[in-house]
Every structure is written in structure tokens, then in C-alpha cells.
Amino acid sequence: MKKSTKEKEVKTTSTPSELSEISMYDLIRHPVVTEKVTLCSQYNQIVFRVPLDANKTQIKQAVEKIFSVKVKAVNTLRQQGKRKMFRGRPGVRPSYKKAMITLVEGHSIDIATGV
């Protein structure tokens, strides 16, 4: 007996789903303003705090839509919360995630506007 051959289903690579406007603004919490980040601005880089579960594709889409710029690269890092003492008792500061966004030449984001 011959087994009948089944047609293989071809999986198409799905593009990342479009972010709603509300989720875009939830994804980019606030810019990080430090001396080191200020020095990185001359290389078309800017740093934002983002949720721990955000991925690079979502961050790129959100920054491009909110600020109307073209993103070249997104690098992320997770910072583990520090252990601290509070009134004689041990405590832990919350963990957070930062996204370092590199913009294409000619594009810039001015985070000092409105300060």
C-alpha cells in the first residue's frame, strides 16, 4: 500500500504587528539624561527607559512613529536591581531596561525641548 502524500503548508514569515498609539507611548517611558548619554548624542545616539518585556523591533517601531525619525540600530541592556538597606531592613530596587537607539545620519531627537 502506498501512503498518500500530503501537501506541505508553506509558512510565511510574518511581519511584526503594528503597535497601537497607546502602546507606543507606554513602550517609551522616558529618556535617560546623564553625562555619558549627552556625550553619545554627538554619535546620533539617544537612550530611553523601556519596559522589561519590550523587544528591539517594538522599540524601533515606536521611536520611528513617535519622533518621525529613521532608526539605524537598537541596543538594549537589562540592569538588575541593587540590594539596599532601608531603615535597617534589606530591600531591593527594581530592575529596569534601557534601549540605546542609533539614528541614521541627518536625523536627530531633541529631548531638551519643552524643559
> From the CA atom positions of the chain, what is the Rg in Å?
21
Q: What gap in Å lies between CA 23 and CA 45, rounded to an integer?
A: 23
Confidence tier at 114 by pLDDT (50, 70, 90): very low
- Read off the C-alpha cell for 28: 517609551
Report which of 52, 49, 53 is spatially closest to residue 34, judged by C-alpha positions: 49
Answer with the residue of higher pLDDT: 115 or 41.
Answer: 41
For residue 69, pLDDT beyond 90 = yes
- Read off the C-alpha cell for 93: 530596587
Q: Running DSSP on this structure, what letter comes out for residue 72?
A: E
Among the residue ranges 2-16, 32-46, 62-76, 98-112, the one predicted with the least confidence is 2-16
The confidence score (pLDDT) of residue 29 equals: 92
pTM value is: 0.75
Domains, the chain: 21-103 (3.30.70.330)
